[in-house]
Amino acid sequence: MNALHQYQAVNTQTSVIDVDRHRLIQLLFEGALERINMAKARIQASDFEGKNRLINKSIEIVSGLRSFLNIEEGQELASNLSDLYAYIERRLFEANVKNDIEILEEVAGHLRKVKEGWDGIREEALEQGIV
């Protein structure tokens, strides 16, 4: 089994290296949303340790998204996204403390909206050679 886990880790690392920057951000959004959905299921199953791990990972992902922002170049849009990501991080922390599925749904809604916008600019980014 150890060899299988090592192969999966190498395969995952290789996949991340092979994707462009735009796709990497998409993968981060997908990962955060997936973990939030899994955390809701863990709350319903009263698996609070599992919920805690999943929400903490979601917070790490959102923090990573925020760290990718270039406030200087992105100006108001990047600043607004940074504020939204900070809000999402706080709400995820609150959802974790309160075991609150409604907060997780709210946060997932925010992330889906930003992801939809990000997904929508892929073609434009490819055409401009940004990715």
Is 4 part of a structural domain of the chain? Answer: no
Of all residues in the chain, the percent with pLDDT exceeding 70 is 81
* Residue 108, in any domain of the structure: yes
Query: The tokens of 25 are what?
Result: 């951000």
The whole-angstrom separation of Cα 58 and Cα 111 is: 11
Q: What span, in angstroms and rounded, lies between the C-alpha atoms of 65 and 73? A: 16
Domain count, the chain: 1
**Residue that wins the pLDDT comparison between 93 and 7:** 93
Residue 125 confidence (pLDDT): 67
Residue 55 lies inside a defined structural domain of this protein = yes
Residues with Cβ within 8 Å of 44's Cβ and at least 6 positions away in sequence, in order, are 101
pLDDT tens-place string over residues 13-29: 445 555 678 888 999 99
Average pLDDT of the segment spanning 61-74: 91
Instruction: Indicate the DSSP class of residue 19.
Output: S
Q: Which residue has the higher pLDDT, 30 or 71?
A: 30
Is 1 among the domain residues?
no
Phi/psi of residue 100, each to 5°? -105, 105
Q: Could you give the CA distance from residue 131 to residue 20 in angstroms, rounded to a whole number?
A: 6
Q: How far apart are CA 51 and CA 66, in angstroms?
A: 23
pLDDT digits (tens, 9 = 90+) for 81-129: 999 999 999 999 999 999 999 999 999 999 999 999 999 887 776 676 6
Which two structure tokens, joined as six digits, stand for 110?
């925010």
Q: Any idea what the CATH number is for the domain that residue 77 is in?
A: 1.20.120.340
Does residue 112 lie within any of the structural domains? yes
Domain span at residue 71 reads 20-127
Do the domain assignments include residue 11? no
Residue-level pLDDT at 54: 98
Residue 104: count of CB within 10 angstroms of its CB: 24
